[in-house]
């Protein structure tokens, strides 16, 4: 048995691969720290959260909830992320890939807090640090090489267009 409070996993439900997937391992410690600091597990009917990221053809950030595992104490949940979007992020900037996984994980935690009536203030404040999934989808559609230029209306050095936020 382990003493982790957040254990993520990735399942490819569609053929493909991500070159920088191993770099996303840092999300475990980051999100686990948020869970511990938020004290959500103190009153929760589970001891830890097992989040599976299903890489599919769509984004569905409202998690699928499974039964709490009485033997191990975990709450298994799953979200779906669009593999094509993740491939684009992987090729554009590995930090962007990591940010999408963090954003999806925090979004899933908010649903967990709502379902089990747990305090979510700390998770809300962390979640606000990342854009919504629609931001990443819009950036992907523009095929701009540097998505950070979309935050302000300036001329992109990569594609020489002016993007509006």
Residue 98: per-residue pLDDT: 92
Q: What are phi and psi of 80, to 5 degrees?
A: -115, 135
Ranking 11-15, 63-67, 82-86, 128-132 by mean pLDDT, the lowest is 128-132
- Does 1 fall in a domain? no
The answer to whether residue 140 scores a pLDDT higher than 70 is: no
Task: Tally Cβ neighbours within 10 Å of residue 68.
Answer: 15
Same domain? 149 vs 125: no
Residue 162 pLDDT class (50, 70, 90 cuts):
low
- Per the structure, the complete domain to which residue 148 belongs is given by 134-165
Same domain? 98 vs 154: no
Same domain? 139 vs 113: no
- Does 10 fall in a domain? yes
Average pLDDT, stretch 96-122? 95
Same domain? 61 vs 139: no
Q: What string of DSSP letters covers 38-81? A: HTGGGS-SSSEEEEEEEEESS-EEEEEE----TTT-EEEEEEEE
User: What tens digit of pLDDT does each residue of 128-139 get?
Assistant: 998 887 777 776
Residue 165: per-residue pLDDT: 42
Same domain? 116 vs 154: no
Residue 135: per-residue pLDDT: 72
Same domain? 55 vs 93: yes
What predicted TM-score, i.e. pTM, was given to this entire model?
0.83
Same domain? 97 vs 146: no
Residue 150: per-residue pLDDT: 42
The answer to whether residue 56 scores a pLDDT higher than 80 is: yes
Paired tokens of 163: 């993007």
Residue 21: per-residue pLDDT: 87
Average pLDDT, stretch 136-158? 53
Same domain? 123 vs 73: yes
Instruction: State the SS3 of 106-150.
Output: HHHHHHHHHHHCCCCHHHHHHHCCCCCHHHHHHHHHHCCCCHHHH
Same domain? 73 vs 59: yes
What total number of domains does the chain contain? 2
Same domain? 138 vs 126: no
Ranking 21-25, 63-67, 71-75, 151-155 by mean pLDDT, the lowest is 151-155
- Does 69 fall in a domain? yes
- Does 87 fall in a domain? yes
Nearest CA-CA partner of 85 in 60, 65, 109, 105: 60
Same domain? 158 vs 94: no
- Does 51 fall in a domain? yes
Q: Could you give the C-alpha distances from 75 to 12, 49, 156, in angstroms and in order?
A: 21, 5, 44
């Amino acid at each position: 048995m382990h003493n982790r409070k957040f254990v993520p996993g990735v399942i490819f439900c569609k053929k493909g691969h991500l070159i920088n997937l191993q770099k996303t391992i840092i999300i475990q410690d980051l999100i686990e720290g948020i869970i511990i600091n938020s004290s959500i597990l103190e009153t929760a009917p589970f001891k830890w959260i097992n989040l599976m990221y299903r890489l599919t053809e769509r984004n569905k950030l409202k998690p699928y909830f499974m039964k709490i595992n009485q033997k191990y104490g975990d709450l298994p949940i799953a979200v779906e992320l669009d593999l094509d979007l993740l491939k684009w992020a992987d090729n554009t900037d590995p930090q962007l890939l990591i940010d999408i996984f963090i954003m999806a994980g925090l979004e899933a935690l908010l649903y967990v807090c709502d379902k089990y009536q747990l305090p979510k203030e700390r998770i809300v404040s962390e979640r606000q640090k990342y854009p919504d999934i629609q931001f990443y989808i819009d950036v992907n559609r523009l095929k701009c090489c540097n998505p950070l230029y979309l935050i302000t209306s300036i001329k992109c050095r990569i594609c020489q267009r002016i993007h509006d936020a």
